[in-house]
Amino acid sequence: MATRLKTAILGGTFNPVHMGHLGIAEEVLQSQGLDRVLFVPAGVPPWKAGRGDLASAEDRLHMVALALEGNPGFGVTDLELRREGPSYTWDTVSFLMEAHPDTDFSFLLGMDAIAGIRSWHRWESLLSKISFWVMTRPDTPFETLERVLPEYVPAGDRFLYPGRPEIRRISVSPLAVSATEIRRRISEGRSVTGLVPEAVCDYIRDRGLYCHAC
Ligand code: ATP
């Protein structure tokens, strides 16, 4: 029997992708014995694109591709960026599962991101379809999961609900970096060396991204 591939889907705005993303992806890849972490940059409604400090879909995709270059354990897809209209995780997960029946997927997200799960499109169906792996994050309490999904029964770092795949809490080494902080630093003319991969740093500078005054 052919072995099944194990892939974790990592969705996010990636505005821009940073060392925090790469660090957690690498850590989860190793600790959970995955074949691949698939980065899925989120689409953004056209009326929001190019406004404020949100880089265009092309720029965000390009930065992720630069950051992942040379790492066979990581991949990126423009699935959500190509889609017309609102881009729901439900659609992304359903599409990937249908397109890759030989793969076991899990959905990877930070503790801050699970906090809003109850407002996601078809959230209960989504939790019934795919295992969620929630990574600890320095600025978000460890117990957020229990508070947000009290109907789940904790069993160590696994959270169970009859008839649904488990939710897993994964402790990752704290890396107190966020895209918000990186954008702030750039807009203040401060360096982001070490916070984003060098190729991404060069791309941001060449394209003048996030820098309103320079
Ligand atoms: P922003 O500051 O703009 O909200 P972000 O740094 O949180 O952005 P996202 O693109 O929203 O980046 O992140 C994608 C996913 O990675 C989310 O699920 C987020 O919770 C998680 N994530 C990002 N940075 C970290 C980190 N340092 N530690 C753990 N998880 C993280």
Above 90 in pLDDT, residue 125?
yes
Whole-angstrom Cα distance, residue 144 to residue 112?
A: 8
Mean of the pLDDT values across residues 184-199?
93
Inter-axis angle of helices 57-68 and 198-207, nearest 10 = 150
Q: Which protein residues touch ligand 1 with a CB less than 6 Å away?
A: 12-15, 20-21, 24, 109-110, 112-113, 135, 137, 172, 175, 177-180
Q: Which residues pair with 132 in a beta bridge?
A: 107, 167
Above 60 in pLDDT, residue 51?
no
Residue from 13, 19, 21 to probe ligand 1 pocket by mutation (most atoms less than 8 Å from CB): 21
Whole-angstrom Cα distance, residue 46 to residue 127?
A: 28
Selection from 164, 33, 178, 167 nearest residue 107 by Cα: 167
Whole-angstrom Cα distance, residue 59 to residue 153?
A: 41
Higher pLDDT, 109 or 49: 109
Span from the CA of 118 to the centroid of ligand 1 (angstroms) = 18
Mean of the pLDDT values across residues 168-190?
91
- pLDDT for 48 equals 55
Above 80 in pLDDT, residue 6?
yes
Residue from 53, 178, 195 to probe ligand 1 pocket by mutation (most atoms less than 8 Å from CB): 178
Mean of the pLDDT values across residues 123-141?
94
Mean of the pLDDT values across residues 4-22?
95
Mean of the pLDDT values across residues 67-86?
91
Q: How far is CA 110 from CA 14, 24, 163, 175, in A?
A: 13, 9, 24, 12
Above 90 in pLDDT, residue 212?
no
- Poorest-pLDDT segment among 48-62, 94-108, 197-211: 48-62
Span from the CA of 138 to the centroid of ligand 1 (angstroms) = 11
pTM of the model: 0.93
Selection from 39, 105, 36, 35 nearest residue 66 by Cα: 39
Mean of the pLDDT values across residues 134-140?
89
Q: How far is CA 26 from CA 100, 129, 138, 157, in A?
A: 22, 25, 18, 20
What is the average pLDDT score of the chain?
Answer: 92
Query: Residue 54 is which amino acid?
Result: L
Return all residues near 124 (Cβ < 8 A) that are at least 6 apart.
none
Mean of the pLDDT values across residues 69-76?
95
Confidence class of residue 207 from pLDDT cuts 50, 70 and 90?
very high
Token pair of 153 as six digits: 């029964």
